[in-house]
A and B are shown apart, each in its own frame.
Chain A
Amino acid sequence: MSLRIIVAVKHVPDATGDRRFAEDGTTDRASVDGLLSELDEYAVEQALRIAEAHGDAQVTALTIGPDAAMDALRKALSMGADDAVHVSDESIHGTDAIGTSLILARAVERTGFDLVVCGMASTDGAMGVIPALLAERLGVPQLTMLSEVTVDGDTVRGRRDSDAATEQLESRLPAVVSVTDQSGEVRYPNFKGILAAKKKPVAGLGLHELGIEAEAVGLEGAWSAVNQIVARPPRVAGTIVRDEGDGGGKLAAFLAAQKFI
């Protein structure tokens, strides 16, 4: 039985760029170049490793986003994903995490899945809630924040490192997993992969095909709202001294003056 893996990816503004908000309080996706979110690269990598270990699996990359988001799918395809699904609709602009999970869940169900693989969080919103929301909506187990993941028959196992403990997790498929940046080195797409990506099928879907009303998503449909955005003043460098055998002593004096010691 073919193992159907969907890897959910996000196209995000480059974190090294000057990220900002648009007039309507949403993330400005135009002024900074976008790319496949770094943490989602780990999800693609693990999806591919699971597929390779299984021997008879299909990896579909899924994203929600405007035209530019195709770039994230292209990267996933050139790494080795077999095909892709691009959900795009004007009405999606400004959708919150709750709404995003609805769109993803419908797209995942429509595509058919045994396993959904996600990154641990996006690098722009950085909420880290989509995998849990997705599991809740799909009615399947979540194995999240994994540094190791394997699929064995219809069982998925993973290792989750939290502050208190390291836990071994196990559930039956179908399931939603998320993987951390500790889960294994990400492969670079090679030239052959980049060329092959151009021929791989990409299905386009709008809200209508997913049976979602425009009012249920977007800025108006969101269950939370941004009231105010204030740019923090950048930090200004304070006193910098050169160590001339007394650097530690000067630092101690500074800390004492600040009442830290």
Chain B
Amino acid sequence: MSDILVLADHRDGAARKPALELLTLARRIGTPAAVLLGAGDAAGSIAARLGEYGAAKVYRGEADEFEDYLVVPKVDALEQIARQIAPAAILLTSSAEGKEIAARLALRLGSGIVTDATDLETGDGGPVAAQPAFAAAFTVRSTVKRGIPVITVKPNAVAPEPEPAAGELTDVSISLSAAATGTRVTARTPRRASSRPELTEATAVVSGGRGVGSAEAFTVIEELADALGAAVGASRAAVDAGWYPHTHQVGQTGKTVSPQLYIASGISGAIQHRAGMQTSKTIVAVNKDPEAPIFDLADFGVVGDLFEVLPQLTTAIRASRN
């Protein structure tokens, strides 16, 4: 069966959920082989995890440059491994870095690239990727016509399913290009680790908008999120007002999410925001304004004050847990 190369994202010594999703998808179209870059001492345990989700082999590369220079060292490593094993396709996560690595890799390999796939199937002409277009008004199916298909996949495209495979760890000695050291990372400040799930990967998201009114008031959103084990999102209006960080922004100029449950609180639902969440499986809206466009999207909506509704919901959820 053909090898499908998967770039496995990891952080803090563990494989990230999108890596497991990629492996699950890769199994539909071939035999997954993971690429693990810069995992250090955690490589063994991460490889074992990747093996649980179907990685027959795990190609491990180490270089300080992965941390110290932007993007290109990883492109070098992936290119080297891809030329070595000649896979039938290469899958990466649709993160900012993932897409940049994918694009440069595709160009070097003389391959077409398809980004932001939400589904992947086999097809006569190679893997077929489904992609949302125009704020998910359309679903487009695309294939790569030339070279080894390079496909980036959005987090939450599929639920990770274990299927144990060997996960055999192989060290690859990485040689870097002259371009590898073009952009130096002179400082890095890690984000305060949060116990909440990452926004694009979470199965549930609770978002706050203009109706929340202040940074302090976002606690009402956070408390509901924590009761649900959800991630916190924010509309552009809330982020522009400085009430929540941009990394939590959902919308056209922020993140696009597709969780099982999306609760929009105090968000009017203009296209800017809708573009970022309208493929969520279940949408709930809470807003004072009965005319808010968000209600057109909602499977369930409450016209009311979010400062009354959300705490009542949070209390009910906690009670049902006890």
Contact = CB atoms under 8 A, between A and B. Distances in A.
A133 B138 contact: no
A139 B135 contact: no
Contacts of A166: 188-189, 191
A8 B244 CA distance: 30
27 contacts: A16-B271, A20-B137, A98-B112, A128-B99, A132-B99, A142-B183, A143-B183, A144-B96, A162-B95, A163-B198, A165-B191, A171-B184, A222-B145, A223-B111, A223-B144, A226-B140, A229-B138, A230-B140, A235-B296, A237-B295, A242-B303, A243-B305, A243-B308, A246-B312, A248-B314, A251-B302, A261-B321
A258 interface: yes
B228 interface: yes
Contacts, number: 263
A248 B301 contact: no
A174 B290 CA distance: 53
B: interface residue count bin = 35 or more
Contact of B247 (A97, A163, A246, A261): A163
A96 B286 CA distance: 41
B116 A126 contact: yes
B128 interface: yes
A134 B300 CA distance: 45
Interface of A: 15-16, 19-21, 38-39, 96-98, 101, 123-124, 126-129, 131-133, 135-137, 139-145, 147, 157, 160-171, 175, 180-182, 222-232, 235, 237-243, 245-252, 254-256, 258, 260-261
A231 B134 CA distance: 10
Contacts of B166: none
A229 B96 contact: no
Interface stretch (B23-31, B40-48, B101-109, B210-218): B101-109
A258 B252 CA distance: 28
Contacts of A126: 116
B104 A242 contact: no
Interface in B90-120: 95-97, 99-100, 102-104, 106-108, 110-116
